[in-house]
Amino acid sequence: MEENETKNAAPVRLAFRVGYLGDRYFGSQMQAKERTVEGEFVASCERLGLFSDYRDAGFLAAGRTDRGVHARGQVFAFSTHLPARAIAFLNWQLPRDCWVSGYAGVPHEFHPRYDARSRTYRYFFGNGDIDVDAMDRGAASFVGEHDFSPFARVKDKNPYRRVLDAHVFREGDFSVLEVTAESFLWHMVRYMASALLLIGTGEWDEDEIGKTLAGDTNPIGPAPPDYLVLWDVNCGIEFVPITDIGRSMEFVRDLRTHHAVMAHICESLIREGGDDPLHQ
C-alpha cells in the first residue's frame, strides 16, 4: 500500500510502458530549453516525490524518438523508494498527451536500451490509391542483415542492422508498415516508408529496394515523422497493465474528433471548389 511506503525503504526499480503523441514535443530526449517527453516525465516524477534527481534514480529510456514521432510502447525505467505511488499516480501527473499503460518490477541493473531484444515501429500511410500487395512484397527485401546506410540520415560506424520482420497491411481505410528489428539507424524506418510508398504508387519497381541496399546512395528522402509510431520495445519482461488511463484516452478521443471534423471540412472545400479551392 502506498501509505505504508517511506523514503527509508529500499529502492525498487520499475520499468514503465509509455505512450505519447509526439507532435507537441521536441522529441523524446531531454533538452534544457525545449518541451520533451523525457522532460515532462521526469518533472512528473519529481512532483510526486519519486526521486529528486533523475540521474541518481537511474532514469533511462529504451530509445529516442524525433520531434513529431509518437509512441505506444516506449520503455522508461527508474528506481524509487515509492513504487506504489508511481504506479497509482503517474497518469494523474503526466500531461494528457503522455501516459503509462503498464509497469514491471525489474532488476536494479536493468537498462531498457541495452536489454531491448527488438523494437517495432509502425508507419501509417494515407488512404490514397496505392498497391498494398506490391508494398508488402517490397518490404520483404528489408528482412535480414544488411548495410542500411542508403536508408539512414547519417553514416553510422556500424551500418549493419538485422530486420526480423517487415510487412505492409490494410487497417481500415489506411495502410500500415510494421517493421521489427534488433535496432535501427537514424531515420531508417522513415526512409523505408518513403521507398515503399514509391512502390505503392508505381514509381518504383519492387526490386528497387534490393538494388538500393546494394548501392551507396538513395535518391529519395525520408517520409514525414508525423505518421511514425514506436509501437513496441521487447525487453523480455511482462508488463502489468495499468488501466487508469482514461484522462489521456479522453484527450486522444477529443483529438480524433477534431481531426475527423477537419478532414470533413477539407473534403467539403475540395468538393465545392475543385482540386485546389484556394487557387481557383
Q: Can you read off the three cell numbers belonging to residue 102? A: 503498464
Q: Measured between alpha carbons, how far is 105 from 49 in angstroms, rounded to an integer?
A: 19
Q: Supply the CATH number for residue 14's domain.
A: 3.30.70.580
Query: 1 pLDDT exceeds 50?
Result: no
Task: State the pLDDT at residue 272.
Answer: 86
Read off the pLDDT of residues 197-239 as tens digits, 9 standing for 90 and up: 999 999 999 999 999 998 867 789 999 999 999 999 999 999 9
Q: Measured between alpha carbons, how far is 262 from 67 in angstroms, rounded to an integer?
A: 23
Q: Measured between alpha carbons, how far is 120 from 116 in angstroms, rounded to an integer?
A: 11
Neighbour-count burial for 177-197, b at 16+ CB within 10 Å, e otherwise: bbbbbeebbebbbbbbbbbbb
Q: Measured between alpha carbons, how far is 20 from 28 in angstroms, rounded to an integer?
A: 9
- Characterise 274 by phi-psi region: left (phi > 0), alpha (psi -120 to 50), beta (else): left
Provide the β-strand partners of residue 180: 120, 165
Q: Report the percentage of the chain scoring pLDDT > 90.
A: 80
Q: Are 248 and 96 in contact (CB under 8 A)?
A: yes
Q: Is the dihedral of CA 76, 82, 88, 93 positive or negative?
A: negative
Domain count across the chain? 3
Contacts of 151 (CB under 8 A, 6+ apart): 185, 188, 191, 192, 195, 212, 213, 218
Read off the pLDDT of residues 96-110 as tens digits, 9 standing for 90 and up: 999 999 999 999 999
Kindly state whether residue 218 falls inside one of the protein's structural domains: yes
Band of the pLDDT at 277, cuts 50, 70, 90?
Answer: very low
Q: 223 and 256: one domain?
A: no
Q: Would you give the end-to-end CA distance of the chain in angstroms?
A: 66
Kindly state whether residue 182 falls inside one of the protein's structural domains: yes
Q: 217 and 277: one domain?
A: no
Read off the pLDDT of residues 25-45 as tens digits, 9 standing for 90 and up: 999 999 989 999 999 999 999
Task: State the pLDDT at residue 6.
Answer: 64
Task: State the pLDDT at residue 273.
Answer: 78
Kindly state whether residue 217 falls inside one of the protein's structural domains: yes
Q: 134 and 152: one domain?
A: yes
Q: 222 and 135: one domain?
A: yes
Kindly state whether residue 236 falls inside one of the protein's structural domains: no
Q: Are 161 and 145 in contact (CB under 8 A)?
A: yes
Most trustworthy range by pLDDT among 138-142, 252-256, 260-264: 138-142
Q: 37 and 20: one domain?
A: yes
Q: 74 and 135: one domain?
A: no
Q: Is 66 a catalytic residue?
A: yes
Q: 78 and 100: one domain?
A: yes
Q: Can you read off the three cell numbers belonging to residue 175? A: 495502410
Q: 89 and 103: one domain?
A: yes
Task: State the pLDDT at residue 243.
Answer: 86
Segments forming the whole domain that contains residue 9 = 2-115
Kindly state whether residue 239 falls inside one of the protein's structural domains: no
Band of the pLDDT at 157, cuts 50, 70, 90?
Answer: confident
Q: Find the mean pLDDT for residues 43-70.
A: 97
For cell 488501466, the residue is 243
From the list 23, 66, 147, 216, the catalytic residue is: 66
Task: State the pLDDT at residue 280.
Answer: 44
Q: 6 and 106: one domain?
A: yes
Q: 73 and 162: one domain?
A: no
Q: Measured between alpha carbons, how far is 9 from 168 in angstroms, rounded to an integer?
A: 49
Q: 98 and 24: one domain?
A: yes
Q: 128 and 107: one domain?
A: no
pTM over 0.85: yes
Query: 278 pLDDT exceeds 60?
Result: no
Query: Which contiguous run of DSSP H or E holds residue 88?
Result: helix 83-93
Query: 276 pLDDT exceeds 70?
Result: no
Task: State the pLDDT at residue 275.
Answer: 59
Kindly state whether residue 237 falls inside one of the protein's structural domains: no
